[in-house]
A and B are shown apart, each in its own frame.
Chain A
């Protein structure tokens, strides 16, 4: 099956700093990747759709200047949380779809803690 990796799996940062999370599709090229946020005991909340070579599409209510997404290649998308605050602490998960398919394959997630 298709494999998606994320790095790092856990990160702790201080308030006001920025942190970058990487999402890679390991065995397929992904023109589209997705970034989700998940709060405890809740379902996944889509933050943005990342399109290779173009600007990301953000969901309503998601600050695009705070959550910077870059999809510079067909196997890598990055999410940068800028000027992080404790309320940004969450579980961030990416997913990717092989070309032409609606199936999404998810990464293992990144636990962000902002102190």
Chain B
């Protein structure tokens, strides 16, 4: 069964304290893994697409990596403005364009 699991559900970090968020997936024939950031009361903001194991992408303090079973979103020296919910998603095995979403990680960075 296609599934996406994110951990932890919530994470509190001190400003400057680096950490990683995890997204585990079980789909056949991965057609991309997508990371989004969502602020309260707003729609998700696209961050990264990863297509193949070993691929890495960076944006400011964020770096996303991909293996055959999971993806990590590494946050280096986070700032309070990085506080948000981070979502990952994959298209299902069935080949449709819709997503299977993880439940998200709520990140709070304390000043």
Contact = CB atoms under 8 A, between A and B. Distances in A.
Contact of B32 (A34, A102, A111): A102
Interface stretch (A12-20, A41-49, A64-72): A41-49
A93 B41 contact: no
A43 B87 contact: yes
A44 B101 contact: yes
B91 interface: yes
Contacts of B16: none
Q: How large is the interface on A (under 10, 10 to 19, 20 to 34, 35 or more residues)?
A: 20 to 34
Instruction: With a 10 A CB-CB cut-off, give which of B31, B43, B44, B99 has the most chain A CB atoms.
Output: B43
Give the interface SS of chain A, mostly helix, strand, loop or mixed: strand
Given A103-B32, A103-B34, A108 B98 contact: no
Interface string A1-40: 1101010000000000000000000000000101000000
B102 A46 contact: no
B34 A108 contact: no
The majority secondary structure among interface residues of chain B is: loop
Interface string A76-108: 000000000000000101010100001111111
Contacts of A93: 43-44
A103 B49 contact: yes
A104 to B, nearest CB: 6
Contacts of B46: 1-2, 103-106
A104 B99 contact: yes
A44 B97 contact: no
A97 B31 CA distance: 14
Interface of A: 1-2, 4, 6, 32, 34, 41-44, 46, 49, 91, 93, 95, 97, 102-109, 111
9 contacts: A34-B99, A42-B103, A43-B87, A43-B101, A43-B102, A102-B31, A102-B49, A104-B34, A109-B42
Interface of B: 31-32, 34, 36, 41-46, 49, 87, 89, 91, 96-99, 101-104, 106
